[in-house]
Homo-oligomer: A and B are copies of this chain.
Amino acid sequence: MYIPTLDDMKTARERVTPYIHRTPVLTSEFLNDLTGAELFFKCENFQKAGAFKVRGACNAVFGLPDDMLAKGVATHSSGNHALSLSYAAGRRGIPCHVVMPRTAPQAKKDAVKGYGGIITECEPSTSSREAVFAKVEAETGAEFVHPYNDPRVIAGQATCSAELIEQVKGLDAVVAPIGGGGMISGTCLTLSNLAPEVKIYAAEPLNADDAARSFRAGHIIADDAPETVADGLKVPLKELTWHFVSNHVTDILTATEDEIVDAMKLIWKRMKIVMEPSSAVPLATILKDKETFAGKRVGIIITGGNVDLDSLPWMEK
């Protein structure tokens, strides 16, 4: 298992800069008053393809050696990684094969196609996904880019907090959502090297708290198909992300579904930004654990902004 290094992050940063945004950091006096902390929101919802995932995807795609270009890249994802890898491959002019469940929302399929991704549908089960993906990989010879358990992807995500610590000096802590752990691992990579005094907190839906339980147990626990409104955070940790989480994370905090939706609506209402339920989990955990963050300068990663505007979670409640 290759563990990506600070040099890998630096290489990634040079590589991806032409293809991504240096996203802004926003603040809210209202939310500072409400939490008693000084919050700095790193807005990856404004990122290319609508999420931080484009950082890792671009690093993988633009780092591919020339002799691998013709066959392109492949992944299985129905979320932001599929969009981001399609975007990155499109910018490099190579094919991108995406295996998605046939039950995925048409809007997501259309978005992947809009970025030039080639979709192969599978049944909505792990066994079908793995079988179909193996077939696509064998037939195309495309390079597999895992959504998070991949050193190229983690080195790419690590560029986000490298920007953040340039944009905001003197941070005491960073809180980021955790699903598979790609963003948190990148955050650990950068901060443990460049700003080791900054504490790293992961924020997780209580309904999909496998990372929190893994953290307490000292080994990976994977749940089967947890249900949460924060649909980017359902996947389990893997070896590479577990390495970073177990070595560098201070704590993993959780929030209920209602707390997540309330925090999401609060951010939309007060900050006037469109962001995903997953991105609201950090604020939800800070609001229920104010004493941990009171008086601190806290960076929050708003991981993405790809939501279905026709089906917002507070409408469904």
Residues of A within 8 A of B (CB): 24, 26, 45-46, 50, 265, 268-269, 271-275, 305, 309-310, 312, 314-315
Given A273-B273, A273-B274, A274-B274, verify A310-B305 contact (CB < 8 Å): no
What residues on B are CB-neighbors of A315 within 8 Å?
Answer: 310, 315
Q: In the bound complex, do residue B50 and residue A309 qualify as a contact, i.e. CB atoms below 8 Å apart?
A: no
Instruction: Output the least CB separation between A111 and chain B (Å).
Output: 10
Instruction: Output the least CB separation between A13 and chain B (Å).
Output: 21
What residues on B are CB-neighbors of A273 within 8 Å?
Answer: 272-274
Q: In the bound complex, do residue A309 and residue B265 qualify as a contact, i.e. CB atoms below 8 Å apart?
A: yes
Nearest B residue (CB) for A24: B24
Q: Which of B45, B265, B310 contacts A272 (CB 8 A)?
A: B45
Q: In the bound complex, do residue B268 and residue A309 qualify as a contact, i.e. CB atoms below 8 Å apart?
A: yes
Instruction: Output the least CB separation between A43 and chain B (Å).
Output: 8
What residues on B are CB-neighbors of A268 within 8 Å?
Answer: 274, 309
A24 to B271, CA, bound (A): 13
What residues on B are CB-neighbors of A314 within 8 Å?
Answer: 309-310
A272 to B272, CA, bound (A): 9
Instruction: Output the least CB separation between A160 and chain B (Å).
Output: 16
A45 to B312, CA, bound (A): 20
- Apart from A46-B271, A50-B272, A265-B309, what are 13 other A-B pairs with CB-CB below 8 Å? A26-B46, A46-B272, A268-B274, A269-B309, A272-B275, A273-B273, A273-B274, A309-B312, A309-B314, A310-B314, A310-B315, A312-B312, A315-B315
What residues on B are CB-neighbors of A24 within 8 Å?
Answer: 24
A309 to B265, CA, bound (A): 8
A312 to B309, CA, bound (A): 9
Instruction: Output the least CB separation between A223 and chain B (Å).
Output: 30
Nearest B residue (CB) for A29: B48
A274 to B315, CA, bound (A): 16
A315 to B26, CA, bound (A): 29
Instruction: Output the least CB separation between A49 and chain B (Å).
Output: 11
Instruction: Output the least CB separation between A24 and chain B (Å).
Output: 7
9 nearest interchain CB pairs? A272-B305, A272-B274, A45-B272, A268-B274, A46-B272, A268-B309, A269-B309, A265-B309, A274-B274
Nearest B residue (CB) for A269: B309
What residues on B are CB-neighbors of A269 within 8 Å?
Answer: 274, 309
Instruction: Output the least CB separation between A14 and chain B (Å).
Output: 22
Instruction: Output the least CB separation between A86 and chain B (Å).
Output: 15
Nearest B residue (CB) for A270: B50
Instruction: Output the least CB separation between A29 and chain B (Å).
Output: 9
A274 to B312, CA, bound (A): 13
